[in-house]
């Protein structure tokens, strides 16, 4: 189904380097490359290689998902967090933000509005907030499940026990997002306080898969101390986990964190990685993230053209949006859900794709 690329007029003299092209072809054929080859791809990419990878990525994505882009309604229901990830604006040590929590009824109102706007997936995302005990979460999940039986429920609430994950699944949650953040132990330790560990994070991801969740891992592009070697390890980890979803976006500094003065990740590198992930994990659900939209006014459109097939606009009440600031300058904090919904529809259409009313499950 994924025949090899025949150069066409569009590229003309802008041929990708032969070496890079054959590495990309190998990646497409085998779904994996040795670590050193990934490093080579990431270090040596030219504009032509980026264009070639994006074209292949899109052809592969189109073959499986057509010209359809899935939308997810993101409900950021708490910005309290017991963790202190060094890069994150809602880390517990940030005393400069106003904390908030949404109750069950407020969450259900978001879903109701989202349903009318055509969303058939709701993503409950929050900091690791002990206020939401398993019982409270299960109550919320069951309520959404009962009120919106044709919708998928995605959780993004961090590291929990196997038993909790199992109970969330039984209550009706379908998917779970837990970015691994980096697949290199030493790098992980430089981004997180010592009470957090990569090993535990990966255990959680494997458990989620085992329980039956459509599971998403992911990482930031251009996070502090990251080199192409770490990125190569991220790609190898993705291959070994074989997740249904992968969330990646550029690292963007937040002013109240120790990484305030660090450089942000680049558009080009993020787009190239989106393409590599699509070529490697052909069926994966791959969002063009808000962080990507934040570093470039057409970031989401460019993400779609690089191989992404999901967008996740915000459904949180306008009053709390600004408070869920993981990084500085986040877009769409002043818009209503409906505004983002229609804005996105136009953006998606502008690059030849179409937003669909669909749960948007993984096509395995």
Quick check: 251 binds ligand 5AD (CB under 6 A)? yes
| Cα diameter, the chain | 61
Cβ atoms of 188 and 198 closer than 8 Å: yes
User: Site residues for ligand FES, window 313-352 (CB under 6 A)?
Assistant: 313, 332, 335, 339-340, 343-344
Quick check: 321 binds ligand 5AD (CB under 6 A)? no
The residue within the footprint of ligand 5AD, chosen from 70, 77, 87, 148 (CB under 6 A), is 87
User: What is the rounded CA–CA span in Å between residue 70 and residue 107?
Assistant: 21
Q: What is the strand order of the sheet 175-177 is part of?
A: 73-78, 121-126, 152-156, 175-177, 214-221, 245-250
Nearest CB to ligand 5AD, comparing residues 34 and 193? 193
Quick check: 181 binds ligand 5AD (CB under 6 A)? yes
Four-CA torsion 265, 267, 273, 277, nearest 10 degrees = 120
Q: Min. distance of Cβ 120 from ligand FES in angstroms?
A: 18
106 CB burial (10 A radius; 0-12, 13-18, 19+): middle
Give the C-alpha distances (Å, rounded to integers) separating 321 from 24, 74, 110, 339, 342: 40, 11, 13, 14, 18
Cβ atoms of 140 and 110 closer than 8 Å: no
Cβ atoms of 222 and 269 closer than 8 Å: yes
Nearest CB to ligand 5AD, comparing residues 27 and 292? 292
Nearest CB to ligand 5AD, comparing residues 233 and 254? 254
Q: Min. distance of Cβ 300 from ligand FES in angstroms?
A: 7
Nearest CB to ligand FES, comparing residues 193 and 297? 297
- Which residue's Cβ lies closest to ligand FES? 343
Only segment of 57-65, 111-119, 249-257, 311-319 that touches ligand 5AD (CB under 6 A): 249-257
The tokens of 140 are what?
A: 């919320």
Instruction: Spell out where the chain has E strands.
Output: 68-71, 73-78, 121-126, 152-156, 175-177, 214-221, 245-250, 310-311, 354-356
User: Site residues for ligand FES, window 7-66 (CB under 6 A)?
Assistant: none
* Residue owning tokens 């259900």: 108
Q: Min. distance of Cβ 347 from ligand FES in angstroms?
A: 7
The option from ligand FES, ligand 5AD, none interacting with 251 (CB < 5 to 8 A, set by class) reads ligand 5AD
Quick check: 301 binds ligand 5AD (CB under 6 A)? no
The option from ligand 5AD, ligand FES, none interacting with 252 (CB < 5 to 8 A, set by class) reads ligand 5AD
User: Site residues for ligand 5AD, window 12-51 (CB under 6 A)?
Assistant: none
DSSP 122: E
What values do phi and psi take at 243, rounded to 5? -75, 160
Only segment of 59-67, 244-252, 270-278, 310-318 that touches ligand 5AD (CB under 6 A): 244-252
Nearest CB to ligand FES, comparing residues 114 and 313? 313
Quickly count helices (H) and strands (E) in the chain: 14, 9
Quick check: 176 binds ligand 5AD (CB under 6 A)? no
Residues in contact with ligand FES by the rule CB under 6 A: 313, 332, 335, 339-340, 343-344
Residues in contact with ligand 5AD by the rule CB under 6 A: 87-88, 179, 181, 220, 249, 251-252, 254, 291, 326-327
């Amino acid at each position: 189904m994924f025949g090899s690329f025949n150069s066409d007029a569009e590229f003309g003299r802008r041929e990708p380097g032969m070496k890079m092209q054959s590495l990309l072809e190998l990646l497409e054929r085998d779904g994996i490359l040795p670590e050193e080859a990934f490093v080579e791809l990431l270090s040596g990419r030219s504009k032509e290689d980026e264009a070639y990878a994006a074209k292949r990525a899109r052809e592969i994505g189109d073959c499986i998902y057509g010209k359809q882009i899935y939308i997810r309604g993101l409900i950021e229901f708490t910005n309290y967090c017991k963790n202190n990830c060094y890069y994150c604006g809602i880390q517990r040590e940030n005393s400069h933000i106003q904390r908030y929590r949404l109750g069950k009824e407020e969450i259900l109102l978001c879903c109701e509005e989202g349903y009318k706007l055509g969303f058939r997936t709701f993503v409950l995302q929050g900091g690791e907030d002990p206020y939401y005990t398993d019982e409270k979460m299960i109550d919320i999940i069951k309520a959404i499940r009962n009120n919106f039986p044709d919708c998928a429920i995605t959780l993004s609430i961090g590291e929990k026990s196997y038993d909790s994950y199992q109970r969330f699944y039984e209550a009706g949650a379908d998917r779970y997002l837990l970015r691994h953040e980096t697949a290199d132990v030493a790098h992980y330790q430089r981004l997180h306080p010592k009470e957090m560990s990569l090993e535990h994070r990966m255990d959680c991801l494997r458990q989620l898969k085992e329980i039956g969740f459509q599971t998403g891992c992911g990482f930031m592009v251009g996070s502090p101390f990251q080199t192409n070697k770490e990125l190569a390890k991220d790609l190898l980890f993705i291959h070994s986990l074989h997740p249904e979803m992968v969330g990646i976006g550029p690292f963007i500094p937040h002013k109240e964190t120790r990484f305030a003065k660090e450089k942000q990740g680049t558009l080009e590198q993020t787009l190239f990685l989106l393409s590599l992930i699509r070529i490697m994990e052909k069926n994966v659900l791959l969002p063009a993230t808000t962080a990507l939209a934040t570093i470039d006014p057409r970031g989401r459109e460019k993400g779609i053209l690089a191989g992404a097939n999901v967008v996740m606009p915000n459904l949180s009440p306008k009053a709390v949006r600004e408070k869920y600031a993981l990084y500085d300058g986040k877009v769409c904090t002043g818009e209503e859900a409906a505004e983002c919904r229609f804005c996105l529809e136009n953006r998606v259409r502008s690059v030849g794709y179409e937003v669909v009313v669909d749960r948007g499950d993984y096509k395995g």
